[in-house]
Chains A and B, each alone.
Chain A
Amino acid sequence: MAHLLLDSSIRLWVVLPIVFITFFVGVLRHYVTQLIHNEKKVDLQQVSDSQVLLRSRILRENGKYLPKQSFAMRKHYFNNPETGFFKKVKRKVIPKNPMTDTSMLTDMMKGNLTNVLPMILIGGWINWAFSGFVTTKVPFPLTLRFKPMLQRGIELISLDASWVSSASWYFLNVFGLRSMYTLILGQDNAADQSRIMQDQMTGAAMAMPPDPNKAFKSEWEALEIVEHKWALENVEEELMCQDLNFRGLFS
């Protein structure tokens, strides 16, 4: 394995500037996203449906604390073949075509603008500005296949693939600084690119997956198979096997 000694000015003028650039561009992206972000309008029906689903899930999990009759009553309310909520309620689902639905289109465009574009621009600039030399070494050995990807601009056949160029150091930073953003900008910040890569809308009981009917059907199935095993069957025996602990009662 070749031991290369790199000029220490690489550390000063390449490694550190790339870190700072990535970090500040990320922070800038966060504030820009906040500025051009518009409130998602929530639909009453969606909120209501998501809360109903939550209630059904809680019934499945904690139904054992209720008396048998009450549990049966609620299960009946949800799952009765004729009048049960999950059987009777069918929501009209308008499939949201990404091309024609204007709000989703603008959201997508804004997302692209604030995230993908700066990454491409800065990646390209770094590749142009800091090319022709090796920047750093990754601590694990890599195969030869990684060479053209990670060693842009360095045409050396004999060089280990672990030595990488500045562009790959930039990409390493983009993903690595995620936790730094969480520290400084708080949770749920817009500079966190890997989260934006996911398409899902999250949030407990605020937004719904686009098809409530499917969600209803899966809840119905889950509720059908749940049995009621009363947790309070032997509660007196369990309680009375030892004296009560009165510590702190009269403090």
Chain B
Amino acid sequence: MSSISELYDVCWEEMRDKLRKWREENYRNSEQIVDVGEELINEHASKLGDDVWIIYEQVMIAALDCSRDDLAWSCLQELKRQFPDSHRVKRLAGMRLEALERYEDANKLYDSILQDDPTNTAARKRKISILQAQGKSSEAIRELNEYLEQFVGDQEAWHELSELYINEHDYAKAAFCLEELMMTNPHNHLYCEQYAEVKYTQGGLENLELARKYFAQALKLNNRNMRALFGLYMSASHIAASPKVSAKVKKDNVKYAAWATSQISRAYQVRGCLPTSVGLHTIQVTFWPRLMSSNNCSN
């Protein structure tokens, strides 16, 4: 089994910088992190200086993802030795217990952290993840709501709550959470697009109009968001096809749908293939069931 440095012909500095890039941009490529990180720790630990601790933490979390308990345990031991009373290390120990499915022990550990420091958000969030892992989604929702009452500014938590609500098909509340995110990040096209999708799923003329507007906003923020372009087309054509609208609204929406179609054709031309009308229809039919299922992973 050849090492990473031989396989890719990189030196340890490049490996360290790659790990830093993955860490700062929140990548979740755990297998790669484990491979690169394990070699870095085993061969070059002394050269890393103070960076080694944060690399231990990063590798440990990746090891838990890949079920490598041996590696996780050794990283944890090193961290415990260096930082004996740290809450951050305790949280990592709790995460390891969660990975081994020893949820009561993990809960006890997190409770002890919270007793020491009631403002520790990490421990609170881990407790909520335990509830999610055990499948108790209504309790998880309740705990997350309580958490958000105290820490209104935690965007990660709002996003998690919106996903939980989407899973429960409670689209009105999911829309509320996404509105919080849109408010704090007005220039993020992905939140606009997700909000529009939730509104589209809720259905009803008003919601469709809102959906169309927010799809348009997402497109304005990022011209290349194809999902939003399709969403614009779908919502506009649904409004135009509805019997309850006035003639002017119908005309406007037909115009929007036509514009969206022309843009989609242009995109395919840029790609190098021209869609037939049948092709376009097939794309829509295969594309939109993704919306109805609960996985709203933004691309």
Contact = CB atoms under 8 A, between A and B. Distances in A.
- Verify that A and B bind, or say they do not: yes
Interface in A42-86: 42-44, 47-48, 51-52, 54-55, 58-59, 62-63, 65-67, 70
B267 interface: yes
Nearest to B253: A236
A251 to B, nearest CB: 10
A235 B186 CA distance: 14
Interface in A187-212: 205
B213 A47 contact: no
Contacts of B186: 62, 65
A246 B270 contact: yes
B173 interface: no
A70 B172 CA distance: 11
B274 to A, nearest CB: 15
A103 interface: no
B183 A58 contact: yes
Interface residues of A, number: 31
A52 B180 CA distance: 13
B184 interface: yes
A70 B179 contact: yes
Interface in B59-99: none
Interface string B207-228: 0001011101101100110100
B63 to A, nearest CB: 31
Interface stretch (A89-97, A105-113, A178-186, A237-245): A237-245
Contact of B213 (A63, A205, A232, A249): A232
Interface band, chain B: 20 to 34
Contacts of B220: 235, 238-239
B182 A66 contact: yes
B54 to A, nearest CB: 18
B152 A232 contact: no
B244 interface: no
B118 interface: yes
B153 to A, nearest CB: 4
B288 interface: no
B183 A66 contact: yes
Contacts of A70: 176, 179
B223 A235 contact: no
A244 B222 CA distance: 9
Interface string A221-251: 0000000000010011011100111101110
Nearest to A245: B223
Of the listed residues A62, A205, A236, A238, the one surrounded by the most CB atoms of chain B closer than 10 A to its CB is A236
A244 B183 contact: no
Majority-rule SS of B interface residues: helix
A42 B121 CA distance: 13
Interface in A109-157: none
Contact of B150 (A48, A54, A246): A48
A248 B225 CA distance: 11
B256 interface: yes
Contact of B119 (A44, A54, A59, A249): A44
B251 interface: no
B217 A232 contact: yes
A145 B259 CA distance: 77
A235 B182 CA distance: 16
Contacts of B119: 42-44, 47
Contacts of B183: 58-59, 62-63, 65-66
Given A48-B151, A51-B151, A244 B263 contact: yes
Given A42-B119, A235-B216, A240 B153 contact: no
A59 B186 CA distance: 11
B270 A243 contact: no
A244 B230 CA distance: 13
B266 interface: yes
B211 to A, nearest CB: 11
Contact of B223 (A44, A55, A236, A244): A244
B213 A236 contact: yes
B229 interface: yes
Contact of A62 (B153, B184, B210): B184
B151 A249 contact: no
Contact of A244 (B217, B219, B256): B219
A55 B266 contact: no
Contact of B153 (A42, A43, A59, A205): A205
12 contacts: A58-B183, A65-B182, A66-B182, A235-B213, A236-B216, A240-B256, A243-B266, A244-B224, A244-B263, A244-B267, A245-B224, A250-B271
